[in-house]
Amino acid sequence: MLRRFNFLHIIYSCYLLCCITPIFKINLYAKESLKINLTEELKKGNFLIGLKQYLGANTDSFFEKQNITFITNKNFITLHSSNGLKYKSKKINILFKKIPLKTPVVIERIVFGPFASFESAQRKAKNLKEKGYEALVAYPKNWEVWIPISKNVPNKLNYKIFKKSYSSKIVPFLISEYSQKQLQGPIFLSSSDEIRINDINFGKKFYLAKDSYGTWTLIQKIKFDDYLKGVLPYEIGSNSPLEALKAQAVIARTWALYNSERFNIDNYHLCISTQCQVYKPPNIKYKNVNKAIIDTSNLIITYKNKPINSFYHGSNGGLSASASESWQIKDYRYLNAMIDGLDPLKKTFKLPIKTGDELNKFLDFADEKVYGDRHSLYRWQKKVSSEIIQNNLINNQLIKEKADLVNLNIIERGSSGRVIKLEIKLKNVQKPIVLIKDDIRRILSFLPSNLFIINKLNDNLWLFKGGGFGHGVGLSQSGAIEMAKLGFTYEQILNHYYQGTKIKKIEILSH
């Protein structure tokens, strides 16, 4: 007999979707370290990083035969499981198995999304909460907002019903030469030695914890500065000028603190992909990266004494965007649309740039007056067939089958000239498809940015001509590199991109 779970069961189910409260109830024999408290970890100067999500899923390719191995060279790894099991070894092998449930569990919820970004999902969740709904932001492969099944949800809201029956649960087992012992999450593993996980050297402290999707997450517990050592080389590049590295260190620290709640539902702070900040284990020591982190130790950017949402990106193409141009959120006073270059450039061009002709003139004007003009995608062109556009629409379930593309029409631009509303007309499709802001790049994934114009070459070929890489909000990494080479300090770089802010030291980062 199937049991129907309401929303509270989704949150607290001991089988599948239980792990979204910040503190776990654990066996009295397990150590205190098994409690996961996201707020307390921040106060201690630690981030919890989701290294690998969805462990145990059938489609997971992270480990062979559904197992994960932890190895040290010298000192023992200590494992504590929430069911009281303790184990020490230089090699720990954990196998994930599907265990049948005595009674299948049915999970139901109302889902909004997918959203192209956390920011857009968060805005939707806030709107729903203001209307009295219990809304959660989740990331089961894409950003979504969940609310409980309810008869009071207005029909005009665009949502879908998720319903799935589970006949098994994913359970980790400690595998030794002679036995298999069942484990219970969260599982804490630590060593005074560096631990290799599937032959990759990561760090010293880890959790394995259940997520909200019936799978597991490998979580690393890491000090702020060690986290930044794994971010800077992959975000701005280890060979960047020192002042640019310092600027990146401050904004990466600020961004991580401001956004540390985005994975609350799964009991960790941040991921390691472009959905957060790109992070990889800091196995190589870069002198300037380390110096930049030490010289800016504990410094963050603030506005009215609070950490800012320090957005950054690869290249703005010479035009910085406001936050509301890129996402369906309210603007921040410290993030403004502006021409990113020397004063002579600002005398030649003025904002707002509202037409394709105005933007085209700016795109054709590229000289040393622009900050960041050496980025590989500072200017770009994409010839795209109608078939590719149709396939993208089908893959994102906006149309069911191919329909001839009639026209692409830019309806609206933001102050920086970025496309914020794009209309797609299809033959025999009565209502045009309208993409808004970050959904434009999510659906038309071949676009490096929303700063573009469109020319129709023929019935089957379109030319997108544009500039920049990323959302264009906040610091442009290529612009910061250029400014550093011109002699600007990291403070001047940050004040340029985050206007009206202050750089301050925060106490919770103190050692």
- What was the pLDDT predicted at 344? 87
Same domain, yes or no: 284 and 177:
no
- What was the pLDDT predicted at 273? 93
Give me the numbers of helices (H) and strands (E) for the chain, helices first please. 14, 27
Same domain, yes or no: 173 and 214:
yes
In a domain, 482, yes or no: no
Rounded distance, CA 209 to CA 36, Å?
Answer: 9
Rounded distance, CA 336 to CA 459, Å?
Answer: 38
* β-pairing verdict for 3-4 and 91-115: parallel
Residue whose C-alpha is closest to residue 417's, from 320, 303, 292, 298: 320
3-state secondary structure of 295: helix
- What was the pLDDT predicted at 59? 55
In a domain, 505, yes or no: no
Same domain, yes or no: 245 and 379:
no
Same domain, yes or no: 217 and 335:
no
Same domain, yes or no: 415 and 353:
yes
Same domain, yes or no: 240 and 364:
no
- Kindly state the greatest CA–CA separation across the chain: 77
Domain count, the chain: 3
Length of the chain: 511
Query: In the listed set 278, 310, 342, which residue is the last one of a domain according to the structure?
Result: 310
Give pLDDT tens digits along the chain (511 positions): 333 333 333 232 333 333 322 222 223 223 445 789 999 999 999 999 999 999 998 754 444 457 899 999 999 999 999 999 999 999 999 999 999 999 999 999 999 999 989 999 999 999 999 999 999 999 998 999 999 998 788 777 889 999 999 999 999 999 988 899 999 999 999 999 999 998 888 899 999 999 999 999 999 999 999 999 999 999 999 999 999 999 999 999 999 999 999 999 999 999 999 999 999 998 888 999 999 999 999 999 999 999 999 999 999 999 999 999 999 889 999 999 999 998 888 888 999 999 999 999 999 986 668 999 999 999 999 999 999 999 999 999 999 888 899 999 999 999 999 999 999 999 988 899 999 999 999 999 999 999 999 999 998 999 999 999 999 999 999 999 999 999 999 999 999 999 999 999 987 644 4
Q: Which domain holds residue 90?
A: 3-224
Asked if 428 and 403 touch (Cβ cutoff 8 Å), the reply is yes
Rounded distance, CA 146 to CA 15, Å?
Answer: 19
Q: Which two tokens stand for residue 461?
A: 């070929």
- What was the pLDDT predicted at 178? 84
Q: DSSP for 222-254?
A: EEHHHHHHTTHIIIIITTS-HHHHHHHHHHHHH
Same domain, yes or no: 274 and 324:
no
In a domain, 506, yes or no: no
Query: In the listed set 171, 189, 224, which residue is the last one of a domain according to the structure?
Result: 224
Distance spanning both ends of the chain, measured CA to CA: 55
In a domain, 478, yes or no: no
Rounded distance, CA 16 to CA 168, Å?
Answer: 9
Q: Find where tokens 């968060």 sit.
A: 122
In a domain, 437, yes or no: yes
Rounded distance, CA 498 to CA 502, Å?
Answer: 9
Query: In the listed set 224, 241, 262, which residue is the last one of a domain according to the structure?
Result: 224
Same domain, yes or no: 257 and 127:
no
In a domain, 507, yes or no: no
Rounded distance, CA 453 to CA 418, Å?
Answer: 9
Same domain, yes or no: 281 and 170:
no
Same domain, yes or no: 392 and 276:
no
Q: Which two tokens stand for residue 63?
A: 């480990």
Q: Find where tokens 């394709």 sit.
A: 356
In a domain, 485, yes or no: no
Same domain, yes or no: 254 and 293:
yes
In a domain, 500, yes or no: no
Same domain, yes or no: 331 and 283:
no
DSSP at 76: P
* β-pairing verdict for 67-71 and 187-197: antiparallel
- What was the pLDDT predicted at 23? 26
Q: DSSP for 60-103?
A: --SSGGGEEEEE-SSSPEEEE-TTS-EEEESEEEEEEEEEEEEE
